[in-house]
Chain A
């Protein structure tokens, strides 16, 4: 039998397929029973893949709020993805809650009026006291004297340790150490095909604290501060000694993004990074390895009680155009308080105060309680021990992206031998001040 397909039929079919495909792009709604209930709905945009926790969190919120449907749309957190989110926010795409993943990006959106002022909601809740503007150590970005977010995660920087290499050298996993001690251990462990560490500790951010890139209240760049050159000098010295990965190899193999590869291949004794690497440690299919990884705190300059060089992350905001701002705030608060349960498995450490039980749950999710892969006690101490690490929160964001680009670019030139370290401060200051003048 022959079936005749008319052009109109093909057109109708194509349209149907197109509409279906577009609908598929819109993310997956979470509601009790799995379908739209006809009640309230929330549109949430975030950069974390749904399966790494957001889907479960949205479902938990929908379960706790019958009649509410939550649709989570993932955008890729890169240049193009952020432009997509920004144009969507500007263009009137219905978005109630959106996440930003860097304080400068968040500040830009909040400063442009894309986020709702949450000051009153946050400061009327005493359980969120450490996120108030009056907190003794600022833990929430203050923009034009207002609060727009609740940072949901802490990205603590710490050192992943290949315990087999440490054990073979008779070195215990450090529980507190200086940058000199780190340098010494890296040199001691550099043998044969093993390199001591991926990179040297960059302490300037921790030492200088809030607004580390700025001098003169943000009117000038701060690159003449000796802390910046000291960081590069240590890095250069370790590179010349062969105790960290040479920069050319890092560039050639794009290892800034894939630094877990040499560590899990057993090529590195130490890797300074943050909890997201734990995902790869568990992924034995992609990264087969047999050693146990331990965690050591970030080394600091002698006598320095500085900040951790990591930072607060995952900044949710209620869109200023949200049709349902109260429900959106409720969702943000829910996400903040339930991150331990749903997001820890993906390597995200919640910033909310955790009970001992919550910390145990989060650690279990992050490590699968697998003692053949993780030295569980050391991870518990570094990630959830007391006192918790402190992070510096910036309040000046003028040309911050440009300043970081200038710093990285010139550092790279020094490490590759194309620039003398003695010229770094002057050149970085010249370029940085010019960028600030242009942006002001």
Chain B
């Protein structure tokens, strides 16, 4: 018989259960992150193999600090995430409140709003390309019908492209946010709502003193995941504008792609990735710290 105690056997069983996931996370998440971090201190062009890795210390970071293209991309990323995150979370919450209040056809609306989240990004992209087409798209046809002679060129316009991408991203994510908020709203203690009503609190007062504190953990979760998601937004940009027109929609993630996979400057791309990682981590930590102690729990 085994000499292992019952406690050790339980521990071993626990390790055995988590091992498949642990191995997966280590191999496909932690190892690439560590390698990426190491690469950010080196020059590497992939074709020269591992022996072609040339350590350069902080040179990649120094070059980024003086590269105007990098800072322009950072600016666009901050604009993109800085607007898309609060708007998405707010629209998801409004949608959830309307659906939770039992608005007419709420079940159908729920399905409609959630649909963009499950449809493939390519299908979404094609649909929006058609909708926003400068001459034949439904938006500009409608604008021309109401008398606008020169409607915006939307995705083909350096002034509008990033805003269009933002709007599409918000539209695609709001349904998912609404769904998560719906679950949170259902968990708000009914007795507290009733007590507030008896005390004469109106809808707004009940929302700020009962509902909001109760759903704050959900808001935090959605804000944090949205900051991470929107600051890494890549798919729609790659498919709809390829960072253009000009560089109007080149965000940090797209610049990373161009630097790494088009120009084969993987060290520089890794350095960009590390700065993005640090930036997102700092913003997330600050938000986390700010929201602490604001929930009901």
Contacts and interface: CB of A to CB of B under 8 A. Distances in A.
B246 A419 contact: yes
A86 interface: yes
B100 interface: no
Given A89-B47, A108-B47, A431 B69 contact: yes
A90 B49 contact: yes
A434 interface: yes
Given A79-B262, A413-B245, A90 B69 contact: no
B47 A251 contact: no
B45 interface: yes
* Count class of interface residues, chain A: 20 to 34
Contacts of B263: 399, 401-402, 405
B176 to A, nearest CB: 28
B244 A83 contact: no
Contacts, number: 87
B129 A252 contact: yes
B153 A252 contact: yes
B40 interface: no
A90 B158 contact: no
Contacts of A83: 46, 261
Contacts of A409: 244, 246-247
A195 interface: no
A317 interface: no
A402 B157 CA distance: 23
Contacts of A412: 244-246
A89 B246 CA distance: 34
A12 interface: no
A418 B134 CA distance: 17
B93 interface: no
A416 B158 contact: yes
A253 interface: yes
B117 interface: no
Interface stretch (A109-117, A140-148, A334-342, A352-360): A109-117
Nearest to B129: A252
A95 to B, nearest CB: 13
Most chain B C-beta atoms within 10 Å of own C-beta, residue among A83, A113, A251: A251
B251 to A, nearest CB: 15
A252 B46 contact: no
A249 interface: yes
A418 B245 contact: yes
Nearest to B66: A434
Nearest to A418: B158
Interface in B245-276: 245-248, 257-258, 261-265, 268
A431 to B, nearest CB: 7
Which of B67, B133, B156 has the most chain A CB atoms inside 10 A of its CB?
A: B156
Given A79-B262, A249-B134, A405-B258, A418 B47 contact: no
Contacts of A3: none
Given A251-B155, A434-B67, 13 more contacts: A87-B46, A108-B47, A247-B245, A249-B135, A251-B244, A252-B153, A401-B264, A409-B244, A412-B246, A416-B158, A418-B158, A434-B68, A438-B268
Interface of A: 79-80, 83, 86-87, 89-90, 108-109, 111-114, 247-249, 251-253, 399, 401-402, 405, 409-410, 412-413, 416, 418-419, 431, 434, 438-439
11 contacts: A108-B47, A114-B47, A249-B156, A252-B133, A252-B134, A252-B155, A405-B262, A416-B153, A416-B157, A416-B158, A418-B248
